[in-house]
Chains A and B, each alone.
Chain A
Amino acid sequence: MVKTGETKVLKVSGPEGGKRLRFLTVTLSLYAGLDRHLSSPARGPLTVEVQQGLRVADVLEGLRVPREEVKVVIVNHRLAGLDHVLADGDRVAVFPTVAGG
């Protein structure tokens, strides 16, 4: 298990396999147990190289995080959707349904 604060680099490409396309770097945190879907769980943040033009949903699919478990996506401290198109340096946080008080 990768401990908090350690960085793990993953690469997610689109269907074309990334040929001649630019890659962006984003940080991704999978919270409240969503990291269990990774081959090596990490509470994050992960550093992910992402093919330009991909959305949050594409990255999660590439990492085999089931879409039905995702409830909230926050990018750069703002609520966003799965269809948010990633930009270089984005800070992405993904949550299942959580609550408390």
Chain B
Amino acid sequence: MSKLMRVNLSTLTVTTQDLPAEYAEMGGRWLTSTIVAREVDPTCHPLGPNNKVVFAPGIVTGTTAPCSGRISVGGKSPLTMGIKEANAGTPFSQKLARLGIRALVVEGEVTDRSKRYVLEIDKDGGRLVEASDLAGKHMEETFAEFGKRYPGHAWCGVSAAGEAGLPLAGVCFSDAEKRPSRYAGRGGLGAVMGRKGLKGIVVDDSGGPGVAVKDPDRLKEGSRKLADALGRHDVTKPGGALNSFGTAVLINILNEAGGLPTRNFSSGVFEGAQKISGEAIAEAVAERGGKGMVGHRCHDGCVIQCSNVYPRPDGEEHVSCVEYESDWALGANLGVDDLDDIAEMVRLCNDYGLDTIEAGVTLGVAMEAGLADFGDGKRAITLLQEIGRLTTLGRILGNGAAFTGRAFGVTRVPAVKGQGMPAYEPRAVKGIGATYMTSPMGADHTAGYTIASEILGVGGKTDPLATEGKVELSRNFQTTTAWIDASGFCLFTAFALIDIPSGFEGALEACNGVLGTRWTMDDVTRIGSEILKTEAEFNRKAGLSAADDRPPEFMRLEKLPPHGHVYDLSDDELDEVLNF
């Protein structure tokens, strides 16, 4: 029987119950958003006792289905003040699922602010154990301690920045080799968890019951079809683009398309793009040798393996991983073209527990304010260290791009609902802009990745500079993505699902095998739109409105080189995107 575990930091109690019947078919984002919408007061302070952090593995997570080790983390965001789901790929999720735990709800807050706790979970249940000696420690030190205390577990945790309640803080999960590198990064859920006094969660699935599967043959057949599609598609196959160059293979194509946000979104072209590209990362790995690698996996069972380990000049490990968003945010967006500086900034973000996207967008705004020159990677590193040391300036930066913009009087702040924009310029790629403006998550590329058809030619081709058809394109991507985020499959399976019909059949069959359902493509749309409606309703009750589904004003006013476009989907068009 599947379980729901509740952890209350006010009473220091852990209870486990059977998963309520109404949640039986839910997983991942579907489950976190549903529980948050039902149990969290939308007007609560996100860092107060009435907010919750909900963890949920996907429907197929923990099974042999390929690329399925995702975990969703949900709550009310201290960054957007709306609902948040952030997800990551990590063995933690697989272990939680194999213990039969479909949802973990963290509630309350410690009464003694000096105390910290670790939640231990194994086949016998959950226990809160005091770990106040870990207070104020960042992730490298925290995970080193977990390595001594819980060598057989998978872990998650929050840094000192999370404990301090900074909205830049994400929830950090261990990767396959137990690095602090896999982040449910966006929206500040690490701050929500940290303020509750919960320093970390450790999971050991030894002797656990495994994932309850209604129809093992159907799961097996679905997994086979999906694995076949992933193995055949040019994006996801062994030796394919993601496997050979990592996600930073996108740097050059966005730059050539004039859509790579540069120097705080003041240009769509970065002259240093090639130096920070996925090709350059692969070259550094090949030339430096040693511990560097491409084709790294975040969890066992991933066949795509898009992660990397970036080496120092002497071949020692610098950081895992330099992926597209981090590479862009801390590179092109700051005018920095030195991969070693970028790698150091990614390492610092991983150690300080920070979302690399929000950190980079914040530093871009800080550079606009004159705190550093664009292109000065060394100064950018010292600004990040201010956050790590929790100085007054660090706490301002640690509140994100929108807050930093207000603190320094900057109007060019690329954010929606207070969340910094990712690595695609909406003025050059109009559909992704529709996703940024209307997603209940705030500016989030993963919420509806129209880039696939607007730039990459996957799932059809559309003109990135045109506005026609982009309302429907974003809506369709957002709906399908919400379902994928519930399934537990990595979003990168979507490329093969969209292009190869048997791949999508396989993903559906795998879910049907676990749940005993008979879902078809119609159910993907039904479930996806239900998730989005639940999230939008929470946001409305939290006080967000159509006025929050808008681009920052400067994008309506400033023409972006090289195309000279402003953001020109109308307000009425934006209001139609999620008008189901």
Contacts and interface: CB of A to CB of B under 8 A. Distances in A.
Nearest to A97: B234
Contact of B257 (A29, A71, A79, A97): A79
Given A93-B256, A99-B241, A32 B249 contact: yes
Given A32-B241, A93-B256, A97-B234, A43 B249 contact: no
Interface residues of B, number: 48
Contacts of B258: 77-78
Interface string A68-101: 0001101001110000000000010101111111
Contacts, number: 107
B200 interface: no
B89 interface: no
Contact of B256 (A4, A71, A77): A77
A4 B492 contact: no
A5 B455 CA distance: 24
A4 B269 contact: no
B542 interface: no
B472 to A, nearest CB: 20
A33 interface: yes
Contact of A31 (B252, B268, B465): B252
Contact of A99 (B257, B456, B562): B456
Interface footprint category on A = 20 to 34
B535 to A, nearest CB: 20
A100 B257 contact: no
Contacts of B451: 101
B457 A31 contact: no
A4 B274 contact: yes
B449 A101 contact: yes
Contacts of B491: 101
Contacts of B323: 100
Contact of A97 (B324, B456, B465): B456
Interface in B203-245: 233-235, 240-242, 244-245
B491 to A, nearest CB: 6
A54 to B, nearest CB: 20
Contacts of B118: none
A101 B147 CA distance: 31
Contacts of A44: 274
A38 to B, nearest CB: 14
B234 A31 contact: no
Given A32-B241, A72-B457, A98 B257 contact: no
Interface of A: 4-5, 29, 31-33, 43-44, 71-72, 74, 77-79, 91, 93, 95-101
